[in-house]
Structure 1
Amino acid sequence: MSRREAKTKAGKGLGILTDFCIACKLGIILVYLLSATGKDHPYLKGASLGQSAWVIMYGVLSSLGGSKSHPVSPRTSFSNYLAHTVYGVATASAIMALGDSNLFKPRYINLSNPTED
């Protein structure tokens, strides 16, 4: 999509829809991550996911030609990185506040106290 097309209402709507879809997918990944690894340090895990998403979207995909990355200032890149970090922390906070407690129950067998059959 050209810059001119992106500035139209349809272009902006498509951009918003795309951002929401990516945010939903990252939120689902974070729910699975917290469910599998436990709910200790949720903000660190959320920040790490947000930062990883930033690296993948702006580092890996742009080098593969998946997105056009125009030359931007370091200040712009850092603010984008910071926004992804805040997104991860906010998502982890929402998951911890709104998620069902069954999501975070441990699913492992305690080997220190085996039961006899």
Structure 2
Amino acid sequence: MLKIRDRWVLGVLSGVLAAIPVRFILNRKPVKGFTDRRYSPRFFLSKRVARSRGGRLLGNVMNNVGAGATGILLSHVLSRSGRKRAFVKGMAVGTASWVGLDGYAVGGIFKGPDTKPLGPALALLNHAVFGGLTALLVSILGHDELFPPREIWGFGDQQADERYREIELRTSLLE
């Protein structure tokens, strides 16, 4: 399988691909109404214009830009911290994005109470699952060179410690 070597392309592709199943689930009838995708175009447009076809298109573009940005962030996080527990790291980044978007941006702009009590909880779950899926896709689609092993000596497995010593020995001999 062809692996992607560029972190930016990897992040954008993984973020947009991970958003597809999440949007599919959110469009199901029982879930509709708990998470509002109408917020994104209302950053720039009035409420009436945001409900038009152009407003919905702008909202989808903004959601994809946000998904790509989250993917880029996750590709850099995983390249610094390693592939181990990628889903959990992705859930943490997704939860942080939920706090930033829903807590700060949406709460500051659209001051209004939620009409359904499950709305915020499902939005948090939505962002956490999206972040986890994005991290899994980043770790699967990314080339091995992007993710060097990142174990702390003495805390990882014995084989990782031996590989580090070999790599360190090779680099010190070359100098």
TM-score interval (norm. to shorter):
0.7 to 0.9
- Offset of residue 106 of structure 1: 4.1
Q: Is the 8 A contact 2:82 2:150 kept in 1?
A: no
Identify the residue that residue 70 of structure 1 maps to in structure 2. 112
Matched, 1:41 2:85: yes
Range 49-58 or range 99-108, more displaced: 99-108
Q: Is the 8 A contact 2:81 2:150 kept in 1?
A: no
Q: Give the superposed CA RMSD.
A: 2.2
Alignment-mate amino acid for residue 79 of structure 2: S
Sequence identity, in percent? Answer: 30
Give the whole-Å Cα distance in 1 for the aligned partners of 2:130 and 2:67.
Answer: 9
Alignment-mate amino acid for residue 6 of structure 1: A
Q: Is the 8 A contact 1:50 1:88 kept in 2?
A: yes
Q: Which runs of structure 2 are paired with 1:1-117 in the superposition (5 Å)?
A: 1-62=45-106, 65=108, 67-72=109-114, 73-106=116-149, 115=172
Q: Which deviations, in whole Å up to 9, do the C-alpha atoms of 1:20-41 show, x marking residues without a partner?
A: 0111011000000000011111
- Offset of residue 7 of structure 1: 1.1
> How many pairs were matched up?
113
Give the whole-Å Cα distance in 1 for the aligned partners of 2:86 and 2:130.
Answer: 13
TM-score normalised per structure 1:
0.84
In structure 1, stretches of 5+ residues that fail to align are: none
Q: Flag the 1:89–1:19 CA change in 2: closer, same or farther, 3 A.
A: same
Give the whole-Å Cα distance in 1 for the aligned partners of 2:125 and 2:90.
Answer: 13
Structure showing greater Rg: 2
Range 27-36 or range 70-79, more displaced: 70-79
Give the whole-Å Cα distance in 1 for the aligned partners of 2:146 and 2:117.
Answer: 39
TM-score normalised per structure 2:
0.58
- Offset of residue 105 of structure 1: 1.3
Q: Flag the 1:70–1:50 CA change in 2: closer, same or farther, 3 A.
A: same
